[in-house]
Structure 1
């Protein structure tokens, strides 16, 4: 029996340049639509070293999203010294992230802006979407933020 080729299931060195000029290091990026035949999973990992406005407006997604903020010291990922503001809902409820954290954003939940306000120690930003690609910035009407 001939050996099967499983190469289509493996993505080696999934590096890309970040869409944000403030993120200098190459990011890890995997898009289900592009890299895995339309799989409903996409993920990006970025190394954040400075404050900046990452997302400037409230929006929602057609898929679930998980956002991670992880200490950049790989020997101790709880070693986190940064501050991020993330807003939720039409009313713009502000939540402050100042420790290693993951956030679940259900499909359709309005969220944003996302402001990285302080970075004393670099951290990993993780963006996971349960869809074939990220679907960003569909700004809803009548949002107060």
Structure 2
């Protein structure tokens, strides 16, 4: 019986942290606009987790009204010129709700120096937001995990 309880506890704990590793190396940078900083990797390399090569860094800033701003930086936290990026990006908000994985997609558009959009109300907490943008034909991904 103890083995069964241990096995269940282990299985549930690993499932709870399945998305925690993120995509790309772990970062300790602080955002320039008070947001959360995450690595940007090639979307094709996302399954490599922390071993994926860092292409850029991104900062997620959320407002109380649901507005989301994603600022992009080079690896030294210098703002990128967004003219090299397609004007539209997308984001997926994901959360577990009553044991089921739920996703909501929302659009991001380049305005001034950021990708801006309005996220739906989270159905559960914590939630994750994965952002996909294109730069010179390359599809890039950044993930912001365990948001509340």
Question: If the length of structure 2 is used for normalisation, what is the TM-score?
Answer: 0.34
Tell me: higher relative CO, structure 1 or 2? Use CA pairs within 8 A at least 6 residues apart.
Answer: 1
Greater share of helix = 2
Question: If the length of structure 1 is used for normalisation, what is the TM-score?
Answer: 0.34
